[in-house]
Amino acid sequence: MKRRDFVKVCASSAVVSAAGRVSAQDKVVWKASDVHPLGYPTVEAIQRMGKKLEKETNGRISIQMYPLMQLGGEKEMIEQAQVGALQIARISVGAMGPVVDELNVFNLPFIFRDEAHMRKVIDGPIGQGLLEKITAN
C-alpha cells in the first residue's frame, strides 16, 4: 500500500469513526502528536490535514497538534491512541513492534536489497496484511 493511500485510509477511518459521535452542532477536537518540532514535514502534513478537515466539516472537527514529544515519546503515543486519548499519533514503524510482532522485521538490517524492493513489499500483499494488523490494534 502506498504511503499516500495509507494516510488517506487512516484519515478516512478517523473521519468515519468520529462522524457517528458528532452531531451537527458538536465541535470535536482531535489530538495529534509527533516527536518532531513545528516545521518538520510530518508535523506540517498533519496541520494541513487539520485545516482541510476543519474546512470540509464547517469547523465541527479540528486537529490540535502537539509536536516535539509534548504528549510523550512514541511508546506513550501508541498507548494513548489505544485507549482513545490521542486520535492521531505519527510514529515510526519500529515503535509498533510491541503492538504487531511482525513489524519487528523492519528493524532488521539489510532486510531489503534496495528501496525499490522495500516499496514492493510495503505496497504489496505483505504490506496490506501488516496494515490490517495495525488497524486492528
pLDDT at 64: 98
**CA–CA dist 85, 88 (Å, integer):** 10
Other Cβ atoms within 10 Å of 130 Cβ, number: 20
Global pTM value? 0.75
Instruction: Give the mean model confidence (pLDDT) for residues 65-85.
Output: 97
Digit-coded pLDDT (tens) for 9-58: 455 555 555 555 556 679 999 999 999 999 999 999 999 999 999 999 99
pLDDT at 92: 93
Q: With CA atoms as reference, report the closest residue to 110 among 118, 119, 120.
A: 118
